[in-house]
């Protein structure tokens, strides 16, 4: 049964990962879009805290946790986001459903585990319109649309170097395309102008982690972790077409390809700076856990020569996350609800983006349930996040959102050597 579910997930991912438009946010207009490389539903519902690992769940953000896996584990997550987009003058509602990750993890030796998978890294999906009045008193309309994004395939390895001290490394390959279009029309003018840009992007980055989890008085565990996501050096192959079209029929009149090579913009680099995360937590195994993490990134060093945007400045970014879980009685025979895992958390993100001289920040509150499946170690994870990003100041957009997450964590004994035939 578990293998059938896995095959269905693989088929779904084959179409879902590549075909989905993973964002409807106006803030995906900036940079390479909305960054979506997140943890599993289990970690997301603890505010995004990623230091915790156990023997039956995959931890996508902390490769050192793979060393704890005792069973083969495959996991998949989908989410639906309901948004209210609000400006100073008006508001509208929209929604989107996406596949968030598909991953496999398994033990390969004593105190060593491996994982691999695929997930979206960033998503672009916006449709914006701005109007102004030119020197002749005519209304000038600019329409901006974009779609696409980057996917991420990864391979991880975790190893317990000595008692309670674990190390991990992940290699990520990022790939995809970014498409952006600007169309300008002027009132009572027959022809408008267009500017189409496309970037085909690929490149590597690496994650390294170290976890130290000593016992305190035999019953409790102290959790400490350091995670480093190295600078992503992405190569972008760019094309640009400009031209005119009929404002009446919408048909292109004349479109030419820009000689980007003459401007040294045919092939450019996108550099996404290193992110470092420090974590500290405390808990009782299979009972409860609480922890906090602080992440920082020198985002002011980001580089993207081809897709520069007016009124955007990058400052250094940071985030603070708090979260934990509680299990009333993990091995209860008489009560299903005593075996349920209850998770909650919150996070505050300073995205580092300054648009129209206003900081774009994000705040979210998370909570969810881990529901055991029968008498196995597998479980279904349901989570919710309520949050707000952006502001209505300076003609910007405030996003209020409800995110609903559904994740499957399925366990089997693949790759585990039988002791008795």
Looking at residue 21, what is its pLDDT?
65
Q: What is the mean pLDDT of the chain?
A: 90
What is the percent of the chain with per-residue pLDDT over 70, rounded to a whole number? 92
CA 277, CA 293: separation in Å to the nearest integer? 7
Predicted confidence (pLDDT) per residue in 215-244, tens digit: 998 899 999 999 999 999 999 999 999 999
Could you report the per-residue pLDDT of 136-147, keeping only the tens digit for each?
888 999 999 999
| CA Rg value for the chain | 24
Q: How confident is the model at residue 261 (pLDDT cuts 50, 70, 90)?
A: very high
Per-residue confidence (pLDDT) for residue 19, from 0 to 100: 43
Least confident of 33-37, 175-179, 201-205, 328-332: 33-37
Contacts of 189 (CB under 8 A, 6+ apart): 138, 247
- Indicate the range of 195-209, 245-259, 278-292 predicted with least confidence: 245-259
Domains of the chain in start order, with CATH, are 2-412 (2.40.160.60)
The mean pLDDT value for 352-367 works out to 94
Query: Is residue 310 over pLDDT 90?
Result: no
Residue 274: the pLDDT is 96
**H/E run at residue 10:** helix 2-19
pLDDT of residue 413: 63
Query: Quick check: 16 pLDDT over 50?
Result: no
Q: How far apart are CA 274 and CA 19, in angstroms?
A: 29
Give the CA dihedral 380, 384, 390, 395, nearest 10 degrees: 110
Task: Name the nearest CA neighbour of 24 among 169, 149, 132.
Answer: 149
| pLDDT, tens only, 56-114 | 999 999 999 999 999 999 999 999 999 999 988 889 999 999 999 999 999 999 899 99
| Contact by Cβ (8 Å): 76, 13 | yes
Tell me, what's the pLDDT at 251? Answer: 86
Q: Is the dihedral of CA 300, 303, 307, 310 positive or negative?
A: positive
- The pLDDT assigned to 31 comes to 84
């Amino acid at each position: 049964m578990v293998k059938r579910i896995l095959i269905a997930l693989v088929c779904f991912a084959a179409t879902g990962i590549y075909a989905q438009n993973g964002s409807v946010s106006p803030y995906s207009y900036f940079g390479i879009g909305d960054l979506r490389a997140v943890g599993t539903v289990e970690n997301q519902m603890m505010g995004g805290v990623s230091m915790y690992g156990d023997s039956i769940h995959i931890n996508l953000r902390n490769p050192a946790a793979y060393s704890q896996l005792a069973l083969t584990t495959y996991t998949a997550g989908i989410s639906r986001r309901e948004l209210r987009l609000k400006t100073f003058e008006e508001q509208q509602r929209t929604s989107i459903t996406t596949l968030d990750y598909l991953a496999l993890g398994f033990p390969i030796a004593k105190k060593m585990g491996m994982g691999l998978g695929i997930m979206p890294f960033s998503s672009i999906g916006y449709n914006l319109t701005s109007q102004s009045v030119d020197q002749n008193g005519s209304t000038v309309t600019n329409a901006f649309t974009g779609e696409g994004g980057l996917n991420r395939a990864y391979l991880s390895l975790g190893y317990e170097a000595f008692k309670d001290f674990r190390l991990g490394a992940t290699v990520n390959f990022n790939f995809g395309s970014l498409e952006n279009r600007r169309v300008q029309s002027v009132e009572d003018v027959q022809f408008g102008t267009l500017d189409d840009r496309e970037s085909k992007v690929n490149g590597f980055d690496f994650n390294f982690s170290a976890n130290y989890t000593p016992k305190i008085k035999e019953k409790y565990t102290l959790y400490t972790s350091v995670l480093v996501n190295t600078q992503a050096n992405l190569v972008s192959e760019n094309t640009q077409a400009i031209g005119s079209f009929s404002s009446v029929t919408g048909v292109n009149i004349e479109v030419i390809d820009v000689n980007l090579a003459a401007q040294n913009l045919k092939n450019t680099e996108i550099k996404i700076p290193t992110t470092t995360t420090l974590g500290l937590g405390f808990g009782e195994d299979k009972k409860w856990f609480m922890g906090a993490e602080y992440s920082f990134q020198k985002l002011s060093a980001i580089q993207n020569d081809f897709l520069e945007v007016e009124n955007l400045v990058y400052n250094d970014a940071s985030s603070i996350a708090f979260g934990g879980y509680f299990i009333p009685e993990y091995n209860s025979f008489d009560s299903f609800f005593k075996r349920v895992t209850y998770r909650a958390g919150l996070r505050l993100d300073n995205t580092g983006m300054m648009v129209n001289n206003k900081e774009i920040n994000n705040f979210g509150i998370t909570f969810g349930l881990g529901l055991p499946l029968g008498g196995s170690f597998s479980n279904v994870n349901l989570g919710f996040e309520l949050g707000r990003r952006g502001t209505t100041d300076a003609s910007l957009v405030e996003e209020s959102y409800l995110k609903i997450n559904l994740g499957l964590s399925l366990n089997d004994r693949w790759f585990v050597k039988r002791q008795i035939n």
